[in-house]
Amino acid sequence: MTALPEAADKKLGLVIDLDTCVGCHACVVNCKEWNTSNYGNPLSDIDAYGAEPEGTFLNRVHAFEVTPDTGGCAQTIHFPKSCLHCEDAPCVTVCPTGASYKRVEDGIVLVNENDCMGCGLCAWACPYGARELDALAGIMKKCTLCVDRIYNENLPEEDREPACVRTCPAGARHFGDLGDPSSDVSKLVAEREGMDLMPEMGTKPVNKYLPPRQKDTLLADMALTPKSEEPKGFLAWLDKALEAL
């Protein structure tokens, strides 16, 4: 049944640090690599080497610019976006076939690909654009929180986290139980005032975003003053000679 669980035992999810993300897209690439070659249908590409390539991705990095209302420098914010594994996930309840579900044991939102009929209604119900219908398979794809990595005892322990987290060279992505107030991710969210995306949609996202730290404002006396003086000696002669030319 596509009813949501009363409460999930754990709230596994991601914390994304918008202050640290450098927009390198390594998470996008590693996500695609892992998820196209492991659980479920591959993430297909169309016209991959042609003029208009497109394909299915479970994670995409946007880039925004924010100009402080109080004045000061505009900031570039690299903004990775994937499934937020919402507590009140509208994508789950709209599913007519029972393919979409939220796990009781860890709160991960998944699609059972054997049941999906590709109607796309779950993608309509998601405010975040976290679900994409694969053009070749005709089946809905979404972030699995790398459910086939995080519990995978065939992998070394340090690899048992989502591919995007494992690969992030900037340390901008964190994985853990956001339902446990003593977990590292929960402490990070508390310390940095982690936020929800579109809270007005009432989805109660599990994933949190850490806001970028405010940048310094440029003051007039912080600019460097010119240091050049009138040239002397050989340089003075060269200067004159060049002007005479």
Partner 1 sequence: MHPAPSVIVFTTLSGLGFGLLAFLGLGLPDVSGMTAFVFFFIGYGLAIAGLLAATFHLGNKVNAHKAFSQWRTSWLSREGVCSVAALLVMAPYAIGRIFCDANWAILGWVGALLCLGTVFTTSMIYAQLKTVPRWNMRWTPALFLTHALAGGALLAGQISAAAILLALLGAVLAISWKQGDQRFEDTGTTLGTATGLDSIGTVRQLEPPHSGKNYLLKEMAFQVGRKHSAKLRAIALALGVIVPVLCLTVLPFSHGLALVAILSHLVGIMAGRWLFFAEAKHVVSLYYQS
Q: Give residues in contact with partner 1 (CB under 8 A).
A: 1-3, 18, 28, 52-57, 60-70, 75-77, 79, 81, 90, 93-99, 114-121, 123-129, 132-135, 137-140, 195-202, 209, 211-212, 214
Closer by beta carbon to partner 1, 42 or else 79:
79
With respect to partner 1, which residue has the nearer C-beta, 61 or 109? 61
Q: Quote the least distance from Cβ 160 to partner 1, whole Å.
A: 27
CB of 141 to partner 1, least distance (A): 9
Provide the minimum distance between the beta carbon of 245 and partner 1 in the complex, in angstroms, as a whole number.
Answer: 47
Q: Are strands 100-102 and 173-177 parallel, antiparallel or unpaired?
A: unpaired
Query: Among 157, 210, 169, 202, which Cα is nearest to 186's?
Result: 210
Q: Between 153 and 200, whose beta carbon lies closer to partner 1?
A: 200
User: Minimum Å distance from CB 29 to partner 1?
Assistant: 12
Longest pairwise C-alpha distance within the chain: 90
- The span from the CA of 34 to the CA of 56, in Å, is 13
Work out how close the CB of 221 gets to partner 1 at its nearest, in angstroms, rounded to a whole number. 24
Question: Alpha-carbon dihedral of residues 51, 43, 28, 8, nearest 10 degrees?
Answer: 150
Q: Where are the alpha helices (DSSP H) in 114-202?
A: 121-125, 147-150, 163-167, 184-192
Which CB sits closer to partner 1, 130 or 150? 130
Q: DSSP for 188-232, please give it.
A: HHHHHT-B-SSGGG----SSEEEPPPPPPPPPGGGSPPP------
CA–CA separation, 214 and 175 (whole Å):
25
> How far is Cα 146 from Cα 35, in angstroms, rounded to an integer?
8
Please report how close the Cβ of residue 123 comes to partner 1 at its closest, in angstroms: 7
CB nearer to partner 1: give 149 or 194: 194
Tokens of 15: 């914390």
Shorter beta-carbon distance to partner 1: residue 150 or 163 = 163
